[in-house]
Amino acid sequence: MDRTTPPYDHISVLTSLILIGIVLFLVVHVPTWTLASQPLGSPLTLHVSGDWLVTLILLGLACTGTDSVIRCHPRSRAGELPYTFVFWILPGLLTVLMAALLPRAPNTQYWFMGLIATAALLSLVVAVEYRTVDPSAPAYRPARLALNLVTYLIALGLFTVIYDSKARSLLTATSTMVAGGLLALDLLRDEQQSMRRRLLYASLVGLLLGEAVWALNYWRVSSLTVGGLLLLLFYLTTGIAQQHLQENLNRRTLLEFAAVGVIGVLILLRYSP
């Protein structure tokens, strides 16, 4: 087998298991537990539904399945991949996003189309992840660019869904912080720096996003507008982090990012629904 040829048999098994799990949303009904507490001095009621349990199971399947695919790569077998968990991020968060979106389908036809799209996207993402294991492979650069695009699309979807939940800021900010930090780590995974430093930069990106959504919860705008603003902040912060890790950050680069930020905000506010 060629070094860049993904193990499609493993990928098909993973996709099938995820689809079976998503179908369980329709037939399995798990009781809802209610947890009450008073964090930060104010009451917080958390409803843990069966959907949460199924989503966690799907997340686990996506991560372990992706890990089995990545470990088929010759670099992994040779012990050249000290960290494989970074390859779990996109398949795992894509699964969570689709598990959150599919129950919102207006009818069975749209739900079935979404299920097919989920299978196609998940298979594609895992296959492309495999092609980015070896940076020296000819297919690496286009594969990495494709994953970058997927990362931004997943970020937009997750930020929008989290804000649209209208949950307490403690929950939405924390969820956004975790999702943003993980997605930032995926974008920074190929930088020639230690994992500790990349984790630090990704954590800072997640923290900024969490603080931003905490403030945006007091602003009455559409969920898509907030998702777009958070995506713009995510793009700017990860871009600056990448430039700093590459030691290319200077005044000109900062001005370019600032210009993109201002233009992006103006466009979002002008055309927000």
What does the domain layout of the chain look like in residue ranges? 8-271
pLDDT, greater one: 136 or 178 = 178
Lowest mean pLDDT of 9-23, 42-56, 105-119, 146-160, name the range: 42-56
pLDDT at position 86: 92
Which DSSP category does 68 fall into? H
Buried b (16+ CB within 10 A) or exposed e, 225-237: bbbbbbbbbbbbb
Q: Is the pLDDT of residue 1 over 50?
A: no
Q: Is the pLDDT of residue 31 over 70?
A: no
Most confident of 33-42, 74-83, 101-110, 208-217: 208-217
Lowest mean pLDDT of 56-60, 150-154, 236-240, name the range: 56-60
What's the Cα-to-Cα distance from 234 to each of 105, 110, 186, 192, 210, rounded to whole Å? 27, 30, 12, 21, 11
Q: Is the pLDDT of residue 27 over 80?
A: no
* pTM for the structure as a whole: 0.88
Distance separating alpha carbons of residues 58 and 130, to the nearest angstrom? 20
Per-residue pLDDT of 74-96, as tens digits, reads 888 877 787 889 999 999 999 99
Q: Is the pLDDT of residue 52 over 90?
A: no
Q: What angle do helix axes 140-164 and 108-131 make, rounded to 10 degrees? A: 140
Where does the pLDDT of residue 107 fall: very low under 50, low under 70, confident under 90, or very high at 90 and above? Answer: confident
Q: Is the pLDDT of residue 148 over 90?
A: yes
Where does the pLDDT of residue 39 fall: very low under 50, low under 70, confident under 90, or very high at 90 and above? Answer: low
For the segment 100-117, the average pLDDT, to the nearest whole number, is 88
pLDDT at position 192: 74
Which DSSP category does 135 fall into? T
Backbone angles phi, psi at 154, to 5 degrees: -65, -40
Report the chain's mean pLDDT, rounded to a whole number. Answer: 86
Report angle CA 2, 130, 13 to the nearest 5 degrees: 95
pLDDT at position 219: 81
Place of tokens 């089995």: 68
Distance separating alpha carbons of residues 154 and 156, to the nearest angstrom? 5
Distance separating alpha carbons of residues 126 and 8, to the nearest angstrom? 10
Distance separating alpha carbons of residues 159 and 180, to the nearest angstrom? 8
Q: Are 92 and 65 in contact (CB under 8 A)?
A: no
Distance separating alpha carbons of residues 26 and 164, to the nearest angstrom? 22
Q: What angle do helix axes 89-101 and 50-70 make, rounded to 10 degrees? A: 150
Distance separating alpha carbons of residues 81 and 100, to the nearest angstrom? 32
For the segment 40-69, the average pLDDT, to the nearest whole number, is 77
Question: Beta strands of the chain (E only): which ranges?
Answer: 33-37, 44-48
